[in-house]
Structure 1
């Protein structure tokens, strides 16, 4: 009799274990993460030279920025850089347009960064430039020169202990007069390599050394701009 009850007990336990054992993996699935995509910029147009915006006072104007909608985006960050001072300001926007007040008579670059609350990954648009006209300005300062070769942050092999620096200048009045290159192993570089009308210059270098350089651009009206600091390493 005891054996019979024992078997009945074991049968009941087996049923309970079977019913509680689960019919598959019921663990919650990880939510799918959608990475934001980059926006296509609309306004201000790239290399716009006659942008006036809406005047606020003698020194400032409000500029309308707009771009195409990106996917998987909760909000956007608009980064506007003053190309004269190098100052960067970021403006958040929940839509594909925003108005930003800027100083007149200055060159700027801008880009849009797409963000999502579900991930830390972002997507960056192209970078566009424009010049916000000042009241009564008839001649504009050049844009800051941009490094071409060596690319910023790269490691290069010197040929006969020499490296050629090359850059690109731009001016809305098309009246660039010359360039002055500053070069050295300290940052910011302060040693002038002289003035040139070319957009390239050969420099002497030493292996296993990091170099810094920047370019001052001057136009026919003595307006000037100084580029960001570029760097490269010689192996």
Structure 2
């Protein structure tokens, strides 16, 4: 799963057009990431569109202060934060994701993590769940950006792959029936690889845990 050379130009509309928005509006898949080698990675749209589950709650219970959910999708985590009485905001480039988050009772804005955001440098916790450490295809660059978003000493909670993988590739969204989205860069990172990248970017690992066969890491930004 390595990026070809030369690589196609990424598209900024990959997550707010075609099969992704269609899947979120219907609340279900099938939906896949198709890699440049032809392999398919199933995306768990039904779980994303459901209420926060027990594994999600292990993340939310660790949150501190105000919470920014990066790539919030249909908003189950933001809605759960609202029910818990905790201040939270979701950001997502997809209008369907933002609309669904608001309908679920959460607050959301149509933004990329690389856009200017409200509360930059003041968030207590940032979330990169459901593989969102892959956003932009460069986990180190994403860690640097999140360091600008959270407050000094702030917390980043990341869902990682279950194996020691550190992969980057060009992918596109595919509904398995011929509808495909634009090509964009993506990444997959396991816990050990995340820890190595995090240390290089001024983060320290404070905790790792597994819940319902999902894997999570807590990172603390250096004050």
What interval of TM-score do these two structures reach, taking the shorter chain for normalisation?
under 0.3
Which structure features the higher share of strand residues? 1
- Higher-RCO chain (CA-CA 8 Å, sequence separation at least 6): 2
Structure (1 or 2) with the larger CA radius of gyration: 1
